[in-house]
């Protein structure tokens, strides 16, 4: 049985969370008691949001449903314990960072994973650091392995076009980055073979080695 102090602490968090959703969802006392029982799990607005999102039920499935899926879809910020303004600001920062690095918008699943791992506190700058630590992201956007953002990579592709006499695809250009970094020594840690022909590789050895960012 949680102490009154603990119940008051959780009720205060719940009141703040209800305010974030415009009091469109009222958390019953039994749910407050259940959250209060988990001393190590519910201590922030993020924790309250996660508790509520994990109790999604349709009313016809559970008369005591707290947070039906339609509400969850309409108020995505609620699960993170944020206001709509804070959530949208964070999404914009993440999307801007992802576009700078990759040339594409930030996928929702990537954003959700980042927010989960940092309990909703991640900033735009931290998001960039987090992205650069994700092997799957770096493998998908190969130029990130070499410290290039999307615009810098496009500049490299223009230089490659001069050498090859044609536009290279992103995959081909990334393969050339791998090849040249591998040619510069094992310290670069790249062993993937390039996709272009031997003649094309010879053509770029002289011209590109001076241009590719180490």
Tens digit of each residue's pLDDT (9 = 90 or more) over 26-65: 888 888 999 999 877 899 999 999 998 887 765 555 665 6
Q: Report how far Cα 161 is from the mean position of its chain's Cα atoms.
A: 32
pLDDT of residue 173: 79
Under-50 pLDDT residues of the chain: 186-214
What is d(CA 173, CA 142) in angstroms, rounded to the nearest whole number?
9
> Is 17 within a domain?
yes
For the entire predicted model, the pTM comes to 0.74
Q: Do 11 and 67 share a domain, yes or no?
A: yes
The count of other CB atoms within 10 Å of the CB of residue 71 is 17
Q: Do 11 and 76 share a domain, yes or no?
A: yes
Sign of CA dihedral 8, 14, 19, 24: negative
What is d(CA 120, CA 191) in angstroms, rounded to the nearest whole number?
37
> Is 198 within a domain?
yes
Query: In which region does residue 189 sit, left (phi positive, over 0), alpha (psi from -120 to 50) or beta (all else)?
Result: left
Q: Is 174 helix (H, G, I), strand (E, B) or coil?
A: helix
What is d(CA 196, CA 18) in angstroms, rounded to the nearest whole number?
58
pLDDT of residue 207: 42
Task: Give the phi and the psi of residue 31 in degrees, each rounded to 5.
Answer: -70, -35
> Is 72 within a domain?
yes
> Is 214 within a domain?
no
Question: Do residues 77 and 84 touch, judged by C-beta distance below 8 A?
Answer: yes
Q: Do 76 and 135 share a domain, yes or no?
A: no
Q: Do 107 and 150 share a domain, yes or no?
A: no
Q: Tally the domains of the chain.
A: 3
Q: Do 76 and 10 share a domain, yes or no?
A: yes
Q: Do 90 and 125 share a domain, yes or no?
A: yes
Q: Do 97 and 151 share a domain, yes or no?
A: no
pLDDT of residue 97: 96
Q: Do 16 and 37 share a domain, yes or no?
A: yes
Q: Do 151 and 134 share a domain, yes or no?
A: no
> Is 102 within a domain?
yes
pLDDT of residue 158: 79
Task: Give the phi and the psi of residue 141 in degrees, each rounded to 5.
Answer: -115, 80
The count of other CB atoms within 10 Å of the CB of residue 210 is 7
Q: Do 12 and 74 share a domain, yes or no?
A: yes
Q: Do 58 and 8 share a domain, yes or no?
A: yes
Q: Do 117 and 163 share a domain, yes or no?
A: no
Look up the domain containing 16 and give its range. Answer: 4-80
């Amino acid at each position: 049985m949680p102490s009154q102090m603990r119940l008051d602490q959780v009720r205060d968090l719940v009141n703040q969370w209800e305010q974030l959703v415009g009091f469109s969802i009222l958390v019953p006392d039994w749910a407050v008691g259940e959250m209060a029982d988990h001393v190590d799990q519910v201590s922030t607005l993020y924790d309250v949001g996660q508790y509520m999102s994990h109790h999604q039920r349709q009313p016809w499935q559970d008369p005591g449903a707290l947070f039906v899926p339609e509400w969850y879809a309409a108020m995505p910020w609620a699960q993170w314990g944020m206001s709509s303004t804070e959530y949208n600001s964070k999404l914009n920062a993440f999307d801007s960072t992802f576009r700078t690095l990759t040339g594409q918008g930030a996928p929702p699943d990537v954003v959700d994973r980042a927010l989960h791992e940092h309990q909703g506190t991640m900033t735009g700058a931290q998001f960039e650091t987090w992205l650069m630590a994700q092997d799957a992201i770096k493998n998908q956007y190969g130029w990130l392995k070499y410290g290039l953002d999307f615009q810098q990579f496009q500049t490299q592709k223009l230089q490659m076009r001069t050498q090859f006499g044609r536009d290279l695809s992103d995959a081909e250009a990334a393969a050339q980055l791998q090849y040249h970094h591998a040619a510069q020594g094992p310290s670069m840690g790249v062993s993937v073979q390039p996709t272009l022909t031997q003649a094309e590789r010879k053509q770029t050895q002289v011209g590109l080695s001076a241009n590719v960012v180490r």
